Amino acid sequence: MDNQRIILFFALSFVLLLIWQAWQDDFSPAGLVELTPTEQLTSSINKTDIPATPKEYTPELTAAAPVVVDNSLESAGRIHVVTDVLDIEIDSRGGDLRQVDLLNYPIDITANRVPFRLMQDSERRVLIAQSGLLSANGAPDHHAIYTTTEQEYRLADGASDLKVALHWQSDTGIEVIKTYTFTRDSYLIKVEHQVNNASATDWQGHQYQQLQRTRAGDDESSAFIYTYTGGVIYSNEEKYEKIDFDDMDDSDLSRDISSGWAAMIQHYFVTAWLPPEQQKFQYYSKAPENRPYVLGMVSPQLTVAAGVNNSFMSQLYVGPKDQKRMENVTESLKLTVDYGVLTILAQPIFWLLSYIHGVINNWGWSIILLTLIIKLMFYKLSEKSYRSMANMRRLTPRVTSIRERFGDDRQRMSQAMMELYKKEKINPLGGCLPMLVQIPVFIALYWVLLESVEMRQAPFIGWIQDLSNKDPYYILPLLMGAGMFVQQKLNPPPPDPVQAKVMMALPFIFTLFFAFFPAGLVLYWVANSMISILQQWYITRRIEMAHSSS
């Protein structure tokens, strides 16, 4: 196998991967199933979105749910909450988080006053966070009606936090106060269910938290870039696991997990329930017919003696996949920035990229400088590869002559070529192996640029004001295609005419594909291509001069 073949193999593999990912995102069953407005909001009498209520906490948690009236996603009135980073609507029915706008993340750079809506219960898409209590002694689930003293709450200037208290009262003397605590400059929300038992008997029950979501997902997804949208869970035993919608269709999740969390994620954003650590929760999923998918957890049993009160605590992260912010919540939450199997390489690359940005304060120039650093780290390997390519190019006329001389006699032709390589002390695979070593690093860098919310709406220079969006004038894709063309001219030409035509077509094919890629990714490819051209030209020129003088 020569250098041209391995370049062709990886180029075509990359194109096929992009086509497959786009097909999966747009045309797979997961992408075609979408609830109609009627199906989303119609009441159901089978209570399929409520977890089972255990009579006694065991790993199985198999007891039947309490008898309640299921009003699905109907509303009982909204409570408006505004902080410095969030604009939220809480519904009085269940105290659900029904709508969340991220004030520091506009929809796009041309509409910077319109915030991105992460959570909603619209006719087009549903993503909501619910929590409630389950008890045979009486408790409010997410269909219960709460009351509040105010209909609008705002974080006051100079205040560090904001509390929103919702009240529920039973006829038997059980009072529940559901309190949301919002903190300044934070996407982490504390949720408390305080049970005040004024009855004559002990109260026993469980808290549950869950997320409901329809398949129709990420408003910022691209037809050419596939990123995962769906459920994920974390446990110390299994670590990070995707629970996609097809998994929920196939079977209900039922697992005991301590110190874990459950989330619904999309390209740049995450919504995650984080229960208290060191407590064993029963994690579950449901796929109700014609209803949003459900992913959640049920707590251990809590007993509240007559005449006293006690509380369930949990936390909800609703915001961007900002690794620094998520690390402050829990180290494992940053795994929602999904680098896949190359996480071990991608995390150091992201750290270095962030460090460079901290110095020069421009993500575009940071990408270029990071690419240069990585190329310098691999300079010796690249030098071996380009040296081998230069030697192969020098022998191209003699290789062509051997092919013409022996024609269809493949055995004699291969023998003559091996004798030539041995005589000239050239390893025909010498250019391939150094390239193979570098490929995982550059794929990891590709995923870093694709997954990092820091690239979203980050400006570079002039006409590029959003590195997460395509180049509006297609200048970078054209530069990338030109770079590929120049690199081909520096490489030894393929002796096979068909292979040569395919190689000549690759710059045009890649230019077309990359025309719709995020500008940050194309900038990385352009920088890598230009640096590679300079390296290869310099090394090839040295070798040719050395042989011409000898």
Q: Each residue of 496-526: pLDDT tens digit?
A: 677 777 778 888 988 998 898 899 989 998 9
- Does pTM surpass 0.85? no
Give percent of the chain with pLDDT exceeding 70.
81
**Separation between Cα atoms, residue 24 and residue 29, nearest integer Å:** 8
- 233: exposed, middle or buried (C-beta count within 10 Å: 0-12, 13-18, 19+)? buried
Q: Over the stretch 190-231, which tens digit does the pLDDT of each residue have? A: 999 999 999 999 999 999 999 999 987 566 655 567 789 999
CATH 2.70.98.90 fits 63-215+227-335, yes or no: yes
Instruction: Categorise residue 497: left if φ over 0, alpha if ψ from -120 to 50, beta otherwise.
Output: alpha
Q: Residue 359: its pLDDT value, please?
A: 96
Q: Residue 434: its pLDDT value, please?
A: 61
CB 322 within 8 Å of CB 302: no
Helix (H) or strand (E) run with residue 81 in it: strand 78-82
Q: Label residue 157 by pLDDT band (50, 70, 90).
A: very high
The rounded mean pLDDT for the chain is 83
Token digits of residue 534:
């300079």
Domain ranges in the chain with CATH number 2.70.98.90: 63-215+227-335
Which is more confidently placed, 403 or 59? Answer: 403
Which is more confidently placed, 456 or 548? Answer: 456
Q: Over the stretch 482-500, which tens digit does the pLDDT of each residue have? A: 998 888 777 766 666 777 7
Residue 478 has pLDDT above 80, yes or no: yes
CB 181 within 8 Å of CB 166: no
